[in-house]
Amino acid sequence: MPPLPLDQQEDQEIAVPRSDIPYDLLPMEVQAEHLSSVDALIMDDLPSGRFTWTIENFSRLTKKVYSDDFYVGGYKWRILIFPKGNNVDHLSMYLDVADSTILPNGWSRFAQFSLTVVNQIHSQYSIRKESQHQFNARESDWGFTNFMPLAELYDPARGYRVNDTCIVEADVAVRKVIDYWSHDSKKETGYVGLKNQGATCYMNSLLQTLYHIPYFRKAVYHMPTTENDMPSGSIPLALQSLFYKLQHSDSSVATKELTKSFGWDTYDSFLQHDVQELNRVLCEKLEDKMKGTVVEGTIQQLFEGHHMNYIECINVDYKSTRKESFYDLQLDVKGCQDVYDSFDKYVEVEQLTGDNKYHAEWYGLQVARKGVLFIDFPPVLQLQLKRFEYDFMRDTMVKINDYYEFPLQLDLDRYSGKYLSPEADRSIRNIYTLHSVLVHSGGVHGGHYYAYIRPTLSNQWFKFDDERVTKEDAKRALEEQYGGEEELPHTNPGFNNSPFKFTKYSNAYMLVYIRDSDKDKIMCNVDEKDIAQHLRARLKKEQEEKEKKRKEKAEAHLYTIIKVARNEDMFEQIGQDIFFDLVDHDKVQSFRIQKQMPFIIFKEQIAREFHIPVPCQRFWLWAKRQNHTYRPNRPLTPQEENQSVGELREISNKANNAELKLFLEVEIKQDFRFVSPPLKTKEDLLLFFKLYDPSHEKLRYVGRLYVKASGKPLDTLSRLNQMAGFAIDEEIELFEEIKFEPCVMCERVDRKLTFQVNQLEDGDIICYQRAPKAGSGEQFRYPDVPSFLEYVHNRQVVRFRLLAKPKEDEFSLELSKLHTYDDVVTKVAQHLGLSDPSKIRLTSHNCYSQQPKPQPIKYQGVEHLSDMLIHLNQTSDILYYEILDIPLPELQCLKTLKIAFHLATKDEVVISTIRLPKQSAVGDVLNDIKSKVDLSHPDAQLRLLEVFYHKIYKIFPLSEKIENINDQYWTLRAEEIPEEEKNLGPHDQLIHVYHFMKDTTQNHVQIQNFGDPFLFVIHEGETLADVKLRIQKKLQVSDGDFSEWKFAFVFHGRPEYLEDSDIVCARFQRRDIYGAWEQYLGLEHTDNAPKRSYAVNQVSEVYNDYFSILQNRHTFEKPVKIYN
């Protein structure tokens, strides 16, 4: 398995804080947001330095290890590593603030840094990862949990561990940042920011940009809405509300109403999307919502321009044109120095010649010119910079961080209207002023967005970074967002003084220009009369409620919340909302009372509220018992009732919260008159009673009674029958509800013993039911109170979702938390009508990402359903299921591999799924493949190759066990061994042959491999001309195509071009190579399109879609959708 080339490591992983909890605790997007959110807060550069740590006896290290301390910028740092991984199968490595425990409160420092594991055989294979972070007491270390696979690190042939010694380097540049904890955006800038919901920075930067285009804001205000609309269900109203708050609030504004109006849930708010895509989707949605209103056509008036696509024949009089509209322009960054270069490229004329001639009506195939010219530009010009591209060579998305300038003033009339079509109106001057710069900081798989905006087009720029708004100078908004590289010189003595470079991952991603001739119209005034009266009234009311809550919070220390539970609450709740204990205190009436108020005055308030005279009220204090139940404990004494509310709360509550919980005991006679509660002595016990009906599986509250401690339950049976509505002599059984956590305890009450001997006291609960009649033959699921309470305690309604559709509930089942894996899949199979439950595999739910966990639940890997629903101390009610083709217990004993078999007789690839026992060897895999594919002849021998990024890194020995073979990141390829390879002469060589192109857009020439690599035999003394003939025959390439290829000996990524007369085997004599893939015969192609013109590579189309997913370690972001 090869080390990843450095140019492919940039976006492998988002830096995360070191943690001893599993990595999936936080969504990746949240980590990505936090990673770069401080990037542009930097004020002044401070010194930088490099520290090298040589770690001996590496394999003997087990737990986390710290390096020696080193100083950069006057601060003390150290490296932290987990040699065996931080709960992962990768080396985990972090930069740590060495003296974090003794620094003063509130400390923070910002650092840009890289961590490197040095390859001691070939330095170009050293693995280096960059990050940046604002270190503080909460996050004093930061780095990479999955720095590199342990298998690669501990493989002595790889070069990362030589003589059991590893070398680690840290490059650190320290910078000053503003302390934003005390920053008041409104006070400092006059503007407020937007709150981030999790990963909505991309949306916040776009909304701020649109808000600060006054004409757009005014149009939004004039969209028809009514006072009956709800913002969460109306995009226009939600956007109006958001803009109004941005205009009038003193603190940052939430966007939840707006995202709810989009139809998004919490999970959508934790998905980072593309700001350019959101811009298009939002404008299209608003354009649709504006139809038929006074602001219809606003989106087109602001953002719509037109260009003309043309094809013009050179030798005949024929021209084809097509007019198209655009809301934004996609400009190339790669290969362009600035915006003007991109426009030049946009209108560049393409010559259609040769096989690419244009078929002109009536004239046939003709040499022609093809291009684009602009008919008109919009008043607000949105330029989307193509910072993200799909790299066909690497088969992945990459971010283009190249240096790219954009001007403050943009003249699109330059060069006598070079960009304009003949029909363009030349009287309109297309000179634009830069209004805003949207920035992306990070990599292709995660990062952070923010915006630099000039709200009035003055010289003052403002940075809108989620909740924070700061004043910035023009240099930061323009030049520092050009991208490229930044060189940081070393200034610390004792360090390696060679400079090191950091790629600037923060760069402009979207530009908004406003045409000078439309400036007055676009930058118009927006005042109160533009805002609907109902909107102002609604938001004024919201502000008043917000102020009321703020005031209540500020005065909370002066008040106590009193929660009063009554008999009516128990009748209402027991058997419906609750089954255990007596009441849910969150659902009873509460009162906010000043602590200084005498309790006797509070009783007068209760009298007014419930119409219960003060002398008829008796209040009981609740107590939490040692068994975690919550019961009325004792009545208040007259002395306590003369105290203040605050003093009473202190008596009742040792937890020091603001609540006082009381039970109000009231006696009502048959004529519904209130009377004073009976005198209570120590002999009197207040008991509460619940009735259970096993035929209907119902439990309900029936009332309370005073009993004598020395009395017997037998004496109360007639009264209990009367309360239940039974015959006076009905036989009943009594059970005491003792506790329900962590398990239910409900024991039979002996009717012949006294209440005291039965250990009953004030506040206890007795559940009773009819005694089962002997010989009645009645059968009930839960025949008695204990079995019913056990059922209620353990029942769990689980929502099941098909694993392939993880956001859609398929069905729900009522299960028991005590169910085993077999019990659960049996219930699911019954619901689905499947005969074999063992073919159902379950996967748990990740409560943070709202997605299935990466790995399914192992068969009998957990004890109960409750264990399947737990995720990091949170309980879910979701399980995902899939239906397998073989039973799960059998599948778990097998290793499943996806293998691409290249047929020798056809230009095809067959994707085979191989399942074999885990102890099987590669030879067993190849034998299995033989039984499934067409071979050139029955005795054909096969081999298994490991291919990664179009290079062959390994030929598997037949005896190698398959258990540890990984087909998730590497392509496994099986093929027949050609006859000529079976009979190699003593001087014949088996070499690697790879296809490649040269990428000349970088600062240096870079090799990009593509297509299918293959092995090839070369003979002693054979010239390149001879080799070429055999390769052409093998690949079945036409003479025309083959003549355009160049042949080179490639060593360590550097091509040495060969002549036809060169002896090829003479080049393959090197022994100082790290792996066979480092030297190969390269076939250079000049066409920039992915090659499919030769036989071996034609098959790649069949499986590229499948393996491109496997070879990319991150999935692409989901498309933005606005549903309402």
- Average pLDDT rounded to a whole number, residues 281-297: 86
Confidence of residue 211 (pLDDT cuts 50, 70, 90): very high
Does pLDDT of 336 surpass 50?
yes
Per residue in 793-824, pLDDT (tens digit) is 999 999 999 998 888 889 999 999 999 999 99
Residue 931: exposure state from Cβ atoms within 10 A (0-12, 13-18, ≥19): exposed
Check residue 434 and give its pLDDT: 97
Instruction: Residue 509: name the closest of 383, 411, 409, 344 by CA.
Output: 383
Q: What is the 3-state secondary structure (H, E, C) of 74-107?
A: CEEEEEEEECCCCCCCEEEEEEEECCHHHCCCCC
Does pLDDT of 445 surpass 80?
no
The yes-or-no answer on residue 448 being catalytic is yes
Residue 666's H or E segment, with its range, is none
Check residue 27 and give its pLDDT: 29
- Say what the alpha-carbon torsion angle 354, 356, 361, 367 is, to the nearest 10 degrees: -40
Q: At what angle do helices 235-248 and 275-290 cross, to 10 degrees?
A: 110
Q: Which residue has the higher pLDDT, 44 or 881?
A: 881
Q: What is the DSSP letter of 662?
A: E
Does pLDDT of 326 surpass 70?
yes
Does pLDDT of 15 surpass 50?
no
CB 983 within 8 A of CB 915: no
- CA geometry: angle at 501 spanning 495 and 503, to 5°? 145
Does pLDDT of 1090 surpass 50?
no
C-alpha–C-alpha distance, residues 886 and 1117, integer Å: 33
Check residue 697 and give its pLDDT: 93
Check residue 1110 and give its pLDDT: 31
The per-residue pLDDT of the chain, averaged, comes to 83
Check residue 501 and give its pLDDT: 64
Q: What is the 3-state secondary structure (H, E, C) of 743-772?
A: CCEEEECCCCCCCCCCCCCCCCEEEEEECC
Q: Burial letters for 230-242: b for 16+ Cβ neighbours within 10 Å, e otherwise?
A: ebbebbbbbbbbb
Per residue in 950-977, pLDDT (tens digit) is 888 888 999 999 888 877 667 888 988 8
| Predicted model pTM | 0.55
Choice among 212, 307, 448, 902 that is catalytic: 448
CB 994 within 8 A of CB 1013: yes
- Average pLDDT rounded to a whole number, residues 469-484: 90
Check residue 255 and give its pLDDT: 86
Confidence of residue 41 (pLDDT cuts 50, 70, 90): very low
Q: Partners of 435 in the beta sheet?
A: none
Q: Which residue has the higher pLDDT, 1094 or 336?
A: 336
The yes-or-no answer on residue 201 being catalytic is yes
C-alpha–C-alpha distance, residues 896 and 941, integer Å: 22
Confidence of residue 702 (pLDDT cuts 50, 70, 90): very high
> Helix H segments across 155-311?
185-189, 201-211, 214-221, 235-248, 256-261, 266-269, 275-290, 298-303
- Say what the alpha-carbon torsion angle 934, 940, 943, 949 is, to the nearest 10 degrees: -50
Confidence of residue 185 (pLDDT cuts 50, 70, 90): confident
Does pLDDT of 170 surpass 90?
yes
Check residue 1098 and give its pLDDT: 32
Choice among 90, 166, 201, 819 that is catalytic: 201
Q: Which residue has the higher pLDDT, 516 or 202?
A: 516
C-alpha–C-alpha distance, residues 627 and 526, integer Å: 63
Sign of CA dihedral 422, 424, 429, 435: negative
Q: At what angle do helices 235-248 and 214-221 cross, to 10 degrees?
A: 130
Residue 111 tokens read as: 């650092």
Instruction: Residue 1015: name the closest of 945, 928, 1067, 1108 by CA.
Output: 945
Q: Partners of 143 in the beta sheet?
A: 16, 94
Residue 596 tokens read as: 């200084």
Per residue in 999-1023, pLDDT (tens digit) is 654 444 567 888 888 999 998 889 9
Residue 850: other Cβ atoms inside 10 A: 18
C-alpha–C-alpha distance, residues 178 and 182, integer Å: 10
Q: What is the per-residue DSSP string for 417-456?
A: HTTB-TTS-TTS--EEEEEEEEEEEEETTEEEEEEEE-TT
Q: Give whole-number Cα distances, 1111 to 8, 400, 590, 788, in Å.
A: 12, 20, 59, 53
- Average pLDDT rounded to a whole number, residues 150-170: 89
CB 833 within 8 A of CB 882: no
Of the ranges 68-82, 84-98, 264-278, 412-426, which one carries the lowest mean pLDDT score?
Answer: 264-278
C-alpha–C-alpha distance, residues 778 and 694, integer Å: 10
Instruction: Provide the CA 952 distance to its chain's centre, in angstroms.
Output: 33
C-alpha–C-alpha distance, residues 143 and 92, integer Å: 8
C-alpha–C-alpha distance, residues 638 and 642, integer Å: 7
Q: What is the DSSP letter of 281?
A: H
Instruction: Choose from 5-14, 31-40, 267-276, 459-468 the range with maximum mean pLDDT.
Output: 459-468
Check residue 563 and give its pLDDT: 94
C-alpha–C-alpha distance, residues 764 and 494, integer Å: 76
Residue 179: exposure state from Cβ atoms within 10 A (0-12, 13-18, ≥19): exposed
Per residue in 420-438, pLDDT (tens digit) is 999 999 999 999 999 999 9
- Average pLDDT rounded to a whole number, residues 203-227: 90
Q: Which residue has the higher pLDDT, 401 or 1?
A: 401
Residue 261 tokens read as: 């109006």
Does pLDDT of 405 surpass 90?
yes
C-alpha–C-alpha distance, residues 461 and 459, integer Å: 6
Confidence of residue 343 (pLDDT cuts 50, 70, 90): very high
Instruction: Provide the CA 492 distance to its chain's centre, in angstroms.
Output: 39
Residue 785: other Cβ atoms inside 10 A: 26
- Average pLDDT rounded to a whole number, residues 683-690: 96
> Helix H segments across 833-940?
865-868, 888-892, 922-930
Q: Partners of 592 in the beta sheet?
A: 561
Grouping H, G, I as helix, E, B as strand and the rest as coil, residue 42 is strand
Strands 166-177 and 42-55: antiparallel
Confidence of residue 250 (pLDDT cuts 50, 70, 90): confident
- Chain length of the chain: 1124
Check residue 1003 and give its pLDDT: 42
Per residue in 890-928, pLDDT (tens digit) is 888 888 888 888 877 666 788 888 888 988 999 999 998
